[in-house]
Amino acid sequence: MDGRQSALEGLAMNPSLWKGKRVFVTGHTGFKGGWLCLWLKKLGAEVTGYALPPASNPSLFSVTCVQDGMHSLIGDVADRQRLASAMAEAKPDVVIHMAAQALVRYSYRHPVETYATNVMGTVHLLEAVRHCDSVCSVLVVTSDKCYENRERKIGYREDEAMGGFDPYSNSKGCAELVVAAYRQSFFAAQGRVALATARAGNVIGGGDWSDDRLIPDMVRAFHAGETVCIRNPDAVRPWQHVFEALHGYLLLLENMMENPTAFSQAWNFGPEDADTRDVAWIVKRFVAHWSADQGGADWRIERDAGNLHEAHTLRLDCSKARHELNWRPALDFGLALQWIADWYRCYYSNKDVLALSQQQLDVFQEMVTADGEHRMVKTA
Ligand SMILES: NC(=O)c1ccc[n+]([C@@H]2O[C@H](COP(=O)([O-])OP(=O)(O)OC[C@H]3O[C@@H](n4cnc5c(N)ncnc54)[C@H](O)[C@@H]3O)[C@@H](O)[C@H]2O)c1
């Protein structure tokens, strides 16, 4: 694997902080949660996962054996009692809530399920935290789509209005409001639990086989020797490699562990402005990477006949994470696309995809770790 960058100024994670840390992750059978658990295990954390069974076959969870070396529980966040007992039994120091119905188009077909999982699931999670004395830090993962989208060209900042046109986006805005209410009503005065939210842009990476997502749609089509149909070639999204968002989450939690009150807020994590690209740009680059090795990758535009509304332009202003956490993207975006094509190629040619996943994580971790030197920017 070449093209690595040197450890970048100001991106220092402190891997030793995670050793032996007890971490409760919801959504570990999904795309981001699976990568997060692989990373946390590498860091020496004791991980418990709570989620529904993987929604796709194949899945990152199954092909990289995410459940090995952790405690994996299958359960619904709608089941308040079971979630609370799972957390009580795990006695975590840190909770990372990622379980969600995470698809916009599915949310149009299943709005009730989407709100039940994303809003009441968050309420149940926070109730479990209230009654679990071991927990010190909680990160609730919402989305860049939580903002009231005004289709403007500049990025949304953390203090802007919540909104969301479709049930998924709106449920993430609601989850943000739930967290704010719990922070004010139950956690702030008591001071035991640091509670933050993370609003990341569209993440891409190896191991995603979800429906109606750009990279999985391309991979499925190209692998089957078909032309992929692109619905919204001009849609602009804050794309980033999944490791970038996870790095933001871990760095934020490290800061929360050191200084709970200062970091109990909402945080955006997205690409540099120049990497906030339209769909057609991503497709052309990914097609080039895929074709270079395997040929047979083609695409055509087929506008959405169902006419479901999806935001056209979505940008994030990530200056707060940049200035207060010293976080910024570490991976060249062209290299990120190469890594993704490499990952799926490895999987489809029956090579050792767990080894490649570990290798990609190792290279990335090296980029964001300055020899264990932790840069704490904000102090009490
Ligand atoms: N993928 C992205 O581009 C992106 C962007 C911004 C935010 N997010 C957010 O990040 C989180 C993870 O997203 P992802 O891409 O990994 O999604 P995913 O669909 O791959 O994974 C979702 C996870 O949530 C679990 N889950 C769903 N409903 C559940 C329920 N009722 N009870 C228990 N577990 C349940 C699933 O089992 C799975 O483990 C979500 O909160 C999502 O909204 C994702």
| pLDDT score of 169 | 97
Give the C-alpha separation, 165 to 171, whole Å: 10
CB atoms within 10 A of CB 32: 25
Say what the pLDDT of residue 308 is.
77
* 42 domain residue, yes or no: yes
- pLDDT score at 11: 57
Any residues with CB less than 8 A from the CB of 31 and at least 6 apart, and which?
60, 203, 205, 207, 208, 210, 242
Q: DSSP readout, 14-54?
A: -GGGGTT-EEEEETTTSHHHHHHHHHHHHTT-EEEEEEPSP
The reported pLDDT for the residue numbered 370 is: 66
Residue 380 within any structural domain of the chain: no
Q: Taking every pair of C-alpha atoms in the chain, what is the biggest distance, in angstroms?
A: 60
Query: Rounded distance, CA 309 to CA 121, Å?
Result: 25
Q: What's the CA gap between 136 and 94, in Å, rounded?
A: 6
Instruction: Provide the residue-wise pLDDT of the chain in tens; the chain has 380 residues.
Output: 443 344 444 557 999 999 999 999 999 999 999 999 999 999 999 999 999 999 999 999 999 999 999 999 999 999 999 999 999 999 999 999 999 999 999 999 999 999 999 999 999 999 999 999 999 999 999 999 999 988 888 899 999 999 999 999 999 999 999 999 999 999 988 889 999 999 998 999 999 999 989 999 999 999 999 999 998 899 888 899 999 999 999 999 999 999 999 999 999 999 988 888 899 999 999 999 888 776 678 888 887 666 677 777 888 999 999 999 999 999 998 999 999 999 999 999 999 999 999 999 999 999 998 644 433 333 22
Q: Are strands 266-269 and 194-200 parallel, antiparallel or unpaired?
A: parallel
Give strand pairing partners of 278. Answer: 236
pLDDT (0 to 100) of residue 3: 39
Ligand 1 centroid–CA 302 distance in Å is 27
Closest by alpha carbon to 238, among 281, 207, 301, 195?
281
What is the CA(118)–ligand 1 centre distance, in A? 9
Angle between helix 167-182 and 121-130 (nearest 10): 20
Domain that holds residue 113: 22-203+240-273+313-332+354-367
- Asked if 53 and 31 count as a contact pair (C-beta separation under 8 A), the reply is no
For residue 109, being part of any structural domain is answered with: yes
Please report the pLDDT score of residue 130 as a whole number: 97
Domain count, the chain: 1
Q: Would 148 be classed as within a structural domain?
A: yes
> Would residue 266 count as lying in a domain?
yes
For residue 268, the cross-strand partners are 199
The predicted pLDDT at position 276 comes to 85
**116: in domain:** yes
Q: Cβ(203)–Cβ(32) under 8 Å?
A: yes
373 falls within a domain: no
Q: What pLDDT does residue 291 have?
A: 85
CATH number at residue 74: 3.40.50.720
Is position 340 within any domain?
no
**pLDDT score, position 5:** 42
Q: Name the residue type at position 188.
A: A
- By most ligand atoms within 8 Å of CB, the mutation choice from 57, 98, 208, 249 for ligand 1 is 98
Q: How far is the CA of 321 from the centre of ligand 1 (A)?
A: 22
197: part of which helix (H) or strand (E)?
strand 194-200
15 lines ligand 1 (CB under 6 A): no
User: What pLDDT is stored for residue 51 in this prediction?
Assistant: 98
